Amino acid sequence: MTNKAWALRGGFGIDRLALEERPEREPGFGEARVRIEWVSLNRRDLLLVEGIYNPRQALPIVPCSDGAGIVEALGAGCERVQVGDRVVVHFFPGWIAGEPDMAKLATGLGGPGGDGTLQQTLVIAEQALVRLPEALSTQAAATLPCAALTAWCAIVEQGGVRPGSVVLTQGTGGVSLFAVQFAKMLGARVVATTSSDAKAATLSELGADAIVNYRTDPDWARRARELAGGPIDLIVEVGGADTLDASLRLIRPGGTIALIGVLSGAKAAINLPLAVMRQVRLQGVTCGHRENFEAMLRAIAAHGIDPVISHRFGFGEAREAFQCMARNEHVGKIVVAMDG
């Protein structure tokens, strides 16, 4: 049996992604083989393919961290999953619980931890798999390991959002949309920023209480403060260099800025007194551990949260999926059907 995989070989760039046939591997002790049904793309995956995420990444590499499917074979010693289980792959296979360390963070799939999910079958330690609630499809589950878990940790684990909290989100990427959904689930007031009326409509459908178009309103930060109707407790900061200063001015004393993305640049000059004198908490968020993931899946199933899926591609169209992300044509998640 063979395993078809998209691999980055011979250099970086979407045009260097090549469809390969590899021998299908049997799972070893404590491992499971999963027939991947759906994969979703994250900005990290595009940056890896472009050579920006890690210019020293060893090649060849199969990209993508997010995937869900069916367990089709088990090695000896497996106890957590059974053949036939519908499962989703955890982003950090080596981070099960507790605080992160460099060893745990080095296990991220489709990058430092080795080959990712953009392949028909994946052999992986069973501890990296989470069984799906009955109500959750593998398509929906495939959107969750990176973007949704990052949003969950920003809102729930680090942000401490509760009924009546005020949360500011930025844009309509995967993390931001999940952040709106989780914040509303917890009873918070959400002010969201966006660049177009079409994207604003999606935010409104998800329950955002107020929306600011930063393209048409140059003083969007002032407008966001007005619409918040009170102190802003948490900002989900995905913008990076161009938005961090505004976030520092918007957040309440003692509030939290969840640092997640660097869409406008990776290096920012920080006005330190704004953070120091007002006891602002700058909290980096990089996904979370498996116990966080399991808690999030239970909440999603209980509250009926549906991921926003923007574009669907077939397995043979993987390059087109990456090109779609590069052109910023999506609002929500881009997914790949592995049998398509």
Residue 294 resides in a domain: no
**CA pair distance 338, 196, nearest whole angstrom:** 32
Same domain, 80 and 121: yes
Residue 264 resides in a domain: yes
Same domain, 232 and 312: no
We report the CATH number of the domain holding residue 192 as 3.40.50.720
Residue 290 resides in a domain: no
Residue 299 resides in a domain: no
- Give tens-digit pLDDT for 142-197: 999 999 999 999 999 999 999 999 999 999 999 999 999 999 999 999 999 999 98
Q: Show the tokens assigned to 208.
A: 């955002």
Same domain, 137 and 152: no
Same domain, 172 and 85: no
Residue 301 resides in a domain: no
Same domain, 251 and 203: yes
> How many separate domains does the chain show?
2
Is-above-0.85 flag for pTM?
Answer: yes
Residue 291 resides in a domain: no
Same domain, 7 and 139: yes
Percent of the chain with pLDDT over 90: 87
Residue 264: the pLDDT is 46
Domain ranges, residue 222: 148-284
Percent of the chain with pLDDT over 70: 97
Residue 297 resides in a domain: no
Same domain, 191 and 258: yes
Residue 302 resides in a domain: no
Same domain, 152 and 280: yes
Residue 226: the pLDDT is 94
Residues written for the chain: 340
- Give tens-digit pLDDT for 80-106: 999 999 999 999 999 999 999 999 999
